[in-house]
Structure 1
């Protein structure tokens, strides 16, 4: 237990301080959504569409990566571009439907991961950019 401050009223230091937001609203549930494409042009087209349609606040396109996977009963070894889109849980269903519609793959990788912590200002910015 911490010693009490003589200038402050008697306080119990055994309980952690409250970390509730002073903004009065909970932080938005932000997701990172991954997908891959074989061509840089497809990655750019998808990224532009997601941001233009306010489905993603930001989409990062990474340098070519190497992907090994099984398709049509054969192991494939391909170069791909990974896209990471920032969105909210509320916008994910629409983003997912858009990706399924415009993606050149028959079965595109679409994986969403919940961001469990981040800069409150950044998380709020993401939410504002994808608001309808």
Structure 2
């Protein structure tokens, strides 16, 4: 079984999250994405304590595609220093993981 990851980031608006999801999936960097929100975030930013509303974006891809997906998200993200994190998917339905692989495999 190939290694798979779920990648997350957040945006200030739903439209920004949708735009990032669409560009990543259209580019075959992620097989699919879910947008969750709004969510409340509590954080430190530039030395100040803050709270805000964000939209969370969850993307599924293969681990070997993560560097390209991360670069895309950082480049296209409206924030200068966005959170982009990946966590391993330890298991998944065989058909689903096959679909992820087929979807994010670059065509030769």
TM-score band, normalised by shorter chain: over 0.9
Q: Which has the higher helix share?
A: 2
How far is the alpha carbon of 1:28 from its aligned partner?
Answer: 1.8
Which residue does 1:75 correspond to in 2? 49
Q: RMSD of aligned C-alpha atoms?
A: 0.6
How far is the alpha carbon of 1:72 from its aligned partner?
Answer: 1.6
Q: Which has the higher strand share?
A: 2
Which residue does 1:15 correspond to in 2? none
Write out the 4+ residue segments of structure 1 that deviate beyond 2 Å after TM superposition: none
Q: Which has the larger radius of gyration?
A: 1
Higher relative contact order (CA 8 A, sep 6+): 2
Q: Provide structure 1 residue ranges, at least 5 long, that are not aligned to the other structure.
A: 1-26
Q: Provide structure 2 residue ranges, at least 5 long, that are not aligned to the other structure.
A: none
Q: Report the number of matched residues.
A: 106
Kindly indicate whether the alpha-carbon contact (under 8 Å) linking 1:36 and 1:80 is maintained by their aligned counterparts in 2. Answer: yes
Cα deviation 1:47-66 (Å, max 9, x = unaligned): 00000000000010002000
Q: What is the TM-score with the length of structure 2 in the denominator?
A: 0.96
